[in-house]
């Protein structure tokens, strides 16, 4: 696969475990060391800022995508290499997805979950076939992963849908997880309905 840009979804909170911040910064640095462009929501605090800081510390390119109303609140990161301003959240998410060759979810709140689940929904429907990796720092996503297993058990999803994403616990394992992700056939959309 051609891997040039990776999107991340993650928290914009600073009131979180230092280990989450450290992992985000290490991930950003890993992307830069491998010549990968970081695409993110342009947040100036939390894990978004930490990942950007890590990438920039290694000379990486960081592209932030943020709606105008968030810029008006001063939530953007002035250190991004490039900032793309959108009019809506929907446009922001679509732009990030369109620019990325792979997506990675770090710990985050309801917005991060929404972005991750929308990304998986689009993949399930064959609207993209990009690798999706969940960086499960300190077991943050264990409960969501258990919920997905319960969905499969309850036949809300098929077992093959486990192949839509890969889970790793260390930021240094993310790039290899992207490169070795199972190839997702967009024709699998016929399996979206149970």
Would you place residue 185 in the very low, low, confident or very high pLDDT band (cuts 50, 70, 90)?
A: confident
Q: Check if the beta carbon of residue 78 is closer than 8 Å to that of residue 44.
A: yes
Domain boundaries, the chain: 5-191
How far is 188 from 138, CA to CA, in rounded Å?
A: 32
Sequential DSSP letters for 135-181: E-GGGTTHHHHHHHHHHHHTTSS-GGGGGG-EEESSGGGHHHHHHTP
Give the orientation angle of helix 18-33 with respect to helix 46-57, to 10 degrees.
40
What is the average per-residue pLDDT within 23-37? 98
Per-residue pLDDT tens for 90-99?
Answer: 999 999 999 9
Per-residue pLDDT tens for 145-161?
Answer: 999 999 999 999 999 99
Closest CA to 146 of 136, 10, 23: 136
pLDDT at 126: 87
Would you identify the CATH topology of the domain 5-191? Rossmann fold (3.40.50)
Per-residue pLDDT tens for 64-115?
Answer: 999 999 999 999 999 999 999 999 999 999 999 999 999 999 999 999 999 9
- Give me the residues paired with residue 67 across strands: 86
Could you give the angle at the alpha carbon of 1 between the alpha carbons of 107 and 171, nearest 5°? 25
């Amino acid at each position: 696969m051609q891997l040039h840009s990776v999107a991340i979804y993650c928290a914009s909170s600073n009131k979180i475990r230092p280990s989450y911040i450290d992992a985000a910064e290490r991930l950003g640095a890993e992307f830069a060391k491998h010549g990968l462009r970081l695409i993110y929501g342009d947040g100036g605090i939390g894990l978004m800022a930490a990942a950007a800081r890590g990438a920039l510390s290694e000379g990486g390119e960081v592209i932030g995508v943020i709606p105008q109303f968030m810029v008006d609140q001063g939530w953007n990161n002035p250190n991004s290499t490039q900032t793309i301003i959108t009019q809506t959240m929907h446009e922001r998410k679509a732009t990030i997805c369109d620019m990325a060759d792979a997506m990675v979810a770090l710990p985050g709140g309801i917005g991060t979950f929404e972005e991750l689940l929308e990304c998986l929904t689009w993949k399930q429907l064959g609207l993209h076939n990009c690798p999706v990796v969940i960086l499960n720092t300190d077991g943050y996503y264990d409960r969501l992963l258990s919920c997905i297993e319960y969905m499969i058990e309850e036949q809300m999803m098929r077992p093959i849908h486990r192949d839509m994403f890969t889970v790793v616990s260390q930021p240094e394992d993310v790039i290899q997880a992207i490169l070795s992700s199972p190839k997702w056939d967009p024709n699998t959309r016929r399996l979206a309905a149970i």
